[in-house]
Structure 1
Amino acid sequence: MSDQLRPRTNRAQHLSTIARHGRLKRSNAFATIAKFLAGTLAVLLVSGASVAAIAGMNVVASAKPGVHLANEKALGEIPQIGAIDGGVNMLIIGSDSRAGQDPSFGGEDETGDLNDVTMLLHISQDHSNASVISFPRDMFVPIPECPLPDGDTSSAMSRQKINTTLSYGGMACTVLTVEALTGLSIPFAAEVQFSGVMAMSTAVGGVPVCVAERIEDEYTGTFLDPGVHSLQGVDALQFLRTRHGVGDGSDLTRINNQQVFMSSLVRQIKSANTLSDPLKVYSLAKAATSNMQLSESLNNVSTLASIAMALKDINLDEITFVQVPTGSTEGGVLPVQPAFDDMFAAIAADQPIALAGTLGRGATLDPNAPVAETPAAQAPAEGAADPAAPVAPQKTVISDRATGQTAGEFTCSVGRTLDNQ
C-alpha cells in the first residue's frame, strides 16, 4: 500500500492496535440513508428571527433529549435574534437505523445503526463563507476510545470504516473520531433518520432536481427521465438513497448526486418563497427538531436561530460542498495524503477553500442554468480606489482529488440505466 494512502496517526497516536473486533450489525445496501445535511441546512438557513418567534416552545417540546459531547463548550447566553459569535463546526450524522421508521425502509437487516452519512459543516469566523464536507461511509479511519451511555468506555481501534462509529459508541463517538481525524474541535452535532429528509423536503414544497441522463434503480424504486423533477417526501428520500442508478454505482458518485440535491435545496431555502412564508419556516423548524437527535449544545431554538443568522446572508457561491480526497484500497477508501491534511489545515486556519477538482462522475453542469446578470461597474472617482471597499480573503485551492460544487452552481445528476448495472 502506498504511503500516500496510509491513514494518519499523528493526531491519534493514543489509539491502540485493534483492541477488539465486536460483531457489528450488518449494513443493508438497500437501506442506506440519504446525506441528511440537506435537511439540516434546511433548518439552519431559515431566518433565525422567524424560527425563534414562530417555532417557540412548541418546537422545543417536540425535540428529543440532547446527547452530551466530550468537547462541548459553554456558550453562555445565546442571543435570541443575532448571529452566533465566531465560527461553527457542526457534524451531521445520517443513521441507517429503522427504529420507529416506516417498515418499507427495512430489508434483510432492520436493526442497523451505522452512520452511513458523516458530514461536517464549517462556518467561517467572519460568517462570509461555509463548507460542507462529506466523509465517504467506506473510508477506513482509526477510532479512539469512546464513552458509552452506561458509563463504560469502548476500546480504541486502529482501522475501521467510519460508518461503524455510531454502532460502537453513538453520536459522541462519531464526533470524537472526526475530531481525531481532522484535528478540529466539533462542539455541535445532529443525527437524522429516514423520516427527517421526507418531512423537510415536504416542508419547503419540494426540491427541484435536474436529471441529465435517465436514472433507473430497482432497489429504491427510483425511475426518473431527463429533466427537472420537484421531489419531496418518499421520492426525495429514495433519490438521495439511490446508488445503483447514478454515476458508476459507487457511494462516491452517490455523494456527487446528493450534492446536486443539497445545492438546489439551499437555493430553495434562501429564496423569498420560503423565507417569506411563516408556515414553511415553522414547518422546517418543527420537522428538524422532531426528526433529529441533537447534541445538548444544539438542543434549543435559540442556538439553532443564532447559527441560522450566521448562515443566512452567505452568498451561494461561498457555500461549498466537497467530498474529502480519497484513494481506493481493498474493501473501501483511504484519505489521500498530503491533500487530506492540507484541506483540514486550511479549515482549521479558517481559510476559505476553492475546488480544483471536478463535480465528480455523478453530476454534471446544467446546460439550461440561468445566467446571472452582471451588474454594471461603477467608475471610481478620479484618484485612488475606495479605501472602504472590502478585500476578499484569498482562497486556498484544495486537491483535485476532492470533488464537489458550490450552492451557486446549477448541476444535474448523471443517471445510470439498468442495462449498465
Structure 2
Amino acid sequence: MSAESTPEPVIPGEAGPPDEPGRSAPRCRGKGRRRKPRGRRKGLMIAAWTAAGIVALGGTGAGYVFFKLNGNIKSVDIDQALGADRPTKADNGSENILVLGSDTRAGANKKLGGGTDDGSARSDTAMIIHVYEGHKKASVVSIPRDTLVDRPECTDAEGGAHDAAEDVMFNSAYTTGGAACAVKTVESMSGVRMDHYLEVDFSGFQKLIDELGGVDITTSEDIDDPDSHLNLKAGKHTLGGEQALALVRTRHGVGDGSDLGRIQLQQAFVKALVEQVKEIGLFSGGTRLYDLADTATKTVTTDSDLGSLKSLMSFAEGLKGISAANMDMVTLPVRYDPADPNRVLLQEQKAQQVWTALENDRPIPKSATEGTATGEAEDVVSGG
C-alpha cells in the first residue's frame, strides 16, 4: 500500500509522516518488532458481523437454497494447523474474531488488486473484534499491516512448515502461511486466543456493497487519491461497491498519507455499514435476499467451526444486538519507526493495556491510545 508523499523532516523518537526517507537514528524498538522490505499493497475492510448477518438471512430458505448457500462457504482448519500450544479460551461467553481483508491476485481479484494473475494472496487489513460477555458491545482493534513483528514458526492449513522470522511486517504472516500463520502471529503478539477467523476478498466486498444498494457516508473534506481512484467532494455521498472499495484502500488523499489514516477511514466506513444494514429492510425476503446471502457466503472464508451455514447463522445471531454506538474502534498503539517512517513499531506498554483488556473482557482504557500515531484522518468520514 504505497505511493510516496512529499518528505518532511523526521524527528528522532517522534512520529513522522509515513512516506519520507528515514534517518539513520537508532531504533527504540519494542520487543521483537523490526523490519522487512516494503512492497506495494492495497487494503480491504469489512465488518465480520455485517457479512455474517447477511449470511444468516439465507437460513430462512429451505432445501436447495440452504444447501446451495452452505456449499458456497469456504473454511480452513485453523485448530489443526495450530495444535494445542495456544492461549487459553475464555470461559465467560466473550469471543475474539480475527477478520482479514484478502487481496488475492487470482481470478476476479486480478483487476481489483492489481499485479499479475499469479494466485498469490496478501492480507493488508486486519482487525481483532472482541465481543464482550452478553454480546451487546464490542471492541475492534485494527492492526496496521506495516507493524514490525517477530513472526513465529507456523504450519499452514496444508501442513507446510514455515520458519520463524524477525523484523518482518505483520501482513507477511498471511503471505507466508495463510490464515493459520496469521492467527498464530496475532496470538503470539497478544497472548489472547482467537476464537474465530473470517476473511473477505476484493471482488466479494465490492459486489456485496452494490447489492446492498450502496452505503451512505459524509466527508468533512475533499478526498482525491489517484492511486485508489477516489475523488469525493466534501459532503454527503452514497458509495457503490467500486467507490466503497476505493475508500477503504485510500491513504494518500487523507491525513498524513499513511496506512494509519486509511485505518481511520476503514473504521468510519464499518460503522456506517453496520448501521445501514440494520435500516434497509434486509428481512423483506425475495430475490434480493437470496442474492445478498449468495454473495456473502461466496465472499467469506471462515475457520472450520464457522464453516457451515448453520454455524454461521448461530454466530450471526449472537452479534445482531451490537450497534455502531456500542462499538469501540481503536488502532493498536504504534509509533512511526524513526529509521524508516514507512514502518511502525508497537508501543509495548500501551499495547499491553489493549491485550490485558481483551483478555479480561474489559473496555480498552483511553490511556492505551493517548499519544500514539493516528494517521491524522480522524473525522474525515462519518456515516449518513
Structure 2 length normalisation: TM-score? Answer: 0.79
Aligned with 1:7 (options 10, 27, 30)? 30
Offset of residue 252 of structure 1 = 0.5
8 Å contact kept, 1:28–1:107: no
1:137 aligns with 145
User: CA RMSD for the aligned pairs?
Assistant: 3.2
For residues 240 and 8 of structure 1, what CA distance do their matches in structure 2 show? 30
8 Å contact kept, 1:204–1:268: no
Structure 1 length normalisation: TM-score? Answer: 0.73
For residues 131 and 202 of structure 2, what CA distance do their matches in structure 1 show? 26
Aligned with 1:66 (options 65, 68, 76)? 76
8 Å contact kept, 1:62–1:286: yes
1:393 aligns with none
User: For residues 45-124 of structure 1, what are the structure 2 equivalents within 5 Å?
Assistant: 45-46=53-54, 48=56, 50-54=57-61, 56-69=66-79, 70-71=81-82, 86-108=93-115, 111=118, 112-124=120-132
Offset of residue 335 of structure 1 = 1.1
Query: How many pairs align?
Result: 342
Closer, same or farther in 2 for the Cα pair 1:183/1:280, shift >3 Å? Answer: farther
- What SS is found at the alignment partner of 1:91? strand
* 1:339 is the counterpart of 2:353: no
For residues 43 and 167 of structure 1, what CA distance do their matches in structure 2 show? 23
Aligned with 2:39 (options 27, 36, 39)? 27
**Can you list the C-alpha shifts for 1:101-121, whole angstroms capped at 9, x where unaligned?**
254325455545221111111
- What SS is found at the alignment partner of 2:203? helix
1:399 aligns with 369
For residues 104 and 286 of structure 2, what CA distance do their matches in structure 1 show? 32
Comparing 243-252 with 170-179, greater Cα deviation is found at: 243-252
For residues 113 and 282 of structure 2, what CA distance do their matches in structure 1 show? 33
8 Å contact kept, 2:58–2:69: no
Gaps of 5+ in 1: 74-83, 357-396, 405-409, 415-421
Offset of residue 169 of structure 1 = 0.7
* 1:203 is the counterpart of 2:211: yes
Fraction of identical pairs, as percent:
30
User: For residues 325-336 of structure 1, what are the structure 2 equivalents within 5 Å?
Assistant: 325-329=333-337, 330=340, 331-336=342-347
8 Å contact kept, 2:145–2:169: yes
Aligned with 1:222 (options 186, 209, 230)? 230
Closer, same or farther in 2 for the Cα pair 1:304/1:149, shift >3 Å? Answer: closer
Offset of residue 341 of structure 1 = 0.3
Closer, same or farther in 2 for the Cα pair 1:402/1:46, shift >3 Å? Answer: farther
Offset of residue 265 of structure 1 = 0.1
8 Å contact kept, 2:145–2:171: yes
Offset of residue 301 of structure 1 = 1.4
The structure with the largest alpha-carbon Rg is 1
8 Å contact kept, 1:5–1:336: no
For residues 137 and 7 of structure 1, what CA distance do their matches in structure 2 show? 16
Comparing 308-317 with 113-122, greater Cα deviation is found at: 308-317
For residues 251 and 332 of structure 2, what CA distance do their matches in structure 1 show? 18
1:353 aligns with 364
User: For residues 258-269 of structure 1, what are the structure 2 equivalents within 5 Å?
Assistant: 258-269=266-277
**Can you list the C-alpha shifts for 1:86-145, whole angstroms capped at 9, x where unaligned?**
222111111222211254325455545221111111111221211121100100111111
Letter of the 1:212 partner, please give it: S
2:23 aligns with none
For residues 342 and 103 of structure 1, what CA distance do their matches in structure 2 show? 39
Letter of the 1:132 partner, please give it: V
8 Å contact kept, 1:198–1:233: yes
1:170 aligns with 178
